[in-house]
Amino acid sequence: MTGTAQIEACSIDRKFGTFSALSGVSLSLGEGEFLSLLGPSGSGKSTFLSIIGGYDAPTSGKLLFEGRDITATPAKERGFGMVFQGYALFPHLTVAENIAFPLKVQKRPRAAIRDRVAEMVEMTGLSGHEKKKPAALSGGQQQRVALARALAYEPRVLLLDEPFSALDRNLRTQMQEELRRLHRDLGTTFVFVTHDQEEALALSSRIAIFNHGQLQQIGRPEEIYEAPANRFTAEFLGDINILTLDSAGGGICGTPIVLPGNAVPTGGHLAMRPEHMRLAAGSDGNQLPVRLRDRVYLGPKSRLMLETRGGEELMLYVENDALLPQLAAGSELHVAWDARHSFFL
């Protein structure tokens, strides 16, 4: 976080009848941050974005912008940029006219509008397409027009509602790169809604995880990934192995385990990311006997589906060059991991 908070949400609630879309969401956002709101569909992330933008009003709670209460301020007076899901471009206007629309609304001088549109076209790589209608553009180009239109009037905050959900994988990666560059160059605060965890990890300075209308955790991508606050966050972001600890002795199915931080817990769960586990060779670190249930070939690596003696499932990836070809379903193996990479859930 840089400096003091630019946007502050204080216990925001949003109810639709009896359904609670958001409950008690509080977070603060520094100027120039790139915050991703991440969660499954129906988790309240889009509702929260709408509330920040002024397109929806909270049932209770307060929203501050630079210390001012803007809870009741309509969207048009907040002056934030917004990229809508599906882009919401004006189909009857050309690219240039779409970008110029908010500038004309602000009654800027004609020459200034022309210069600014040219600048935005250049910045978003739309040169040569100025006179085309949105329908004549590809998905990626439409996306750029939406970005250019939202950024044309130099908003302090840019809100993006699943902007890449309609793009194919390659284009997505490319647009993510461009969005990072825009964010770096402009220094505008970006708030970005997505349900794609990889996208959130790759783009954000911080991620806010939503589920059932509640903020589960907010933090830098590596904090959230490596130290998830709860089981939902751990399972939602990336792959995770969760093993039940014996109620006494701190082992797993009778096998003694070294726990993180020299803790001596009774019961509970121990979690670790698959990339921190390996097939044990010899007698290193924590070792757990497992049985191979299935092996999924993925090109450069394989995913091994394993089962502990207690019947709990876990998985890990192995490089295919190191993989012994005789690994077949039913093989008895040992997995190993470093205690520092495991955590309690």
Partner 1 sequence: MRPFLVLICPVLLLLGLSYLLPFLGIMRLSFTDPVPGLAQYRTVAEDPLILSVIWRTLRICAIVTAVSVAAAYVVTLLWVRGRPLTRSIVELCIMIPFWISVLSRAFGWLSFLSNRGLLNTWLKDAGLIETSLQMTRNEFAIIVGMSHYLIPFAVFPLATAMRNLDERTLIAAEGMGASRLRIFWQVFLPMTASGILGATLLVFVFSVGFFVTPALLGGGQSVMVAELIYLWIFQTPKWGLAAAMSVILMLGVGSILVLLMRRYGRIAQ
Q: What are the residues binding partner 1 (CB under 8 A)?
A: 53-55, 75-77, 79-80, 82, 84-86, 88-92, 101-102, 105-106, 149, 153
Structure tokens at 292: 């191979």
Q: Among positive and negative, which fits the CA dihedral 292, 293, 298, 299?
A: positive
In angstroms, what is the minimal distance from the CB of 17 to partner 1?
16
Structure tokens at 313: 């499932």
Select 133 or 291, whichever has its Cβ closest to partner 1.
133
In angstroms, what is the minimal distance from the CB of 75 to partner 1?
4
In angstroms, what is the minimal distance from the CB of 164 to partner 1?
16
Select 55 or 65, whichever has its Cβ closest to partner 1.
55
DSSP letters of 10-78?
Answer: EEEEEEETTEEEEEEEEEEEETT-EEEEE-STTSSHHHHHHHHHTSS--SEEEEEETTEE-TT--HHHH
Select 89 or 209, whichever has its Cβ closest to partner 1.
89
From the DSSP assignment, how many helices (H) and strands (E) are in the chain? 9, 18
On the 0-12 / 13-18 / 19+ scale of CB atoms within 10 A, 303 is: middle
In angstroms, what is the minimal distance from the CB of 47 to partner 1?
14
In angstroms, what is the minimal distance from the CB of 66 to partner 1?
19
On the 0-12 / 13-18 / 19+ scale of CB atoms within 10 A, 214 is: middle
Select 40 or 86, whichever has its Cβ closest to partner 1.
86
Select 74 or 256, whichever has its Cβ closest to partner 1.
74
| Residues with Cβ within 8 Å of residue 307, at least 6 apart in sequence | 290, 291, 293, 313, 314
Select 48 or 101, whichever has its Cβ closest to partner 1.
101
In angstroms, what is the minimal distance from the CB of 158 to partner 1?
12
Structure tokens at 277: 């586990």
In angstroms, what is the minimal distance from the CB of 248 to partner 1?
58
| Residues with Cβ within 8 Å of residue 304, at least 6 apart in sequence | 279, 292, 294, 295, 296, 315, 316, 317, 318, 327
Which H or E run includes 198?
A: helix 197-203
In angstroms, what is the minimal distance from the CB of 10 to partner 1?
23
Select 32 or 155, whichever has its Cβ closest to partner 1.
155
Select 100 or 208, whichever has its Cβ closest to partner 1.
100
Largest CA distance in the chain: 77
Closest CA to 317 of 273, 269, 252, 259: 273
Select 105 or 329, whichever has its Cβ closest to partner 1.
105
| Residues with Cβ within 8 Å of residue 152, at least 6 apart in sequence | 99, 100, 102, 103, 116, 117, 120
In angstroms, what is the minimal distance from the CB of 45 to partner 1?
17
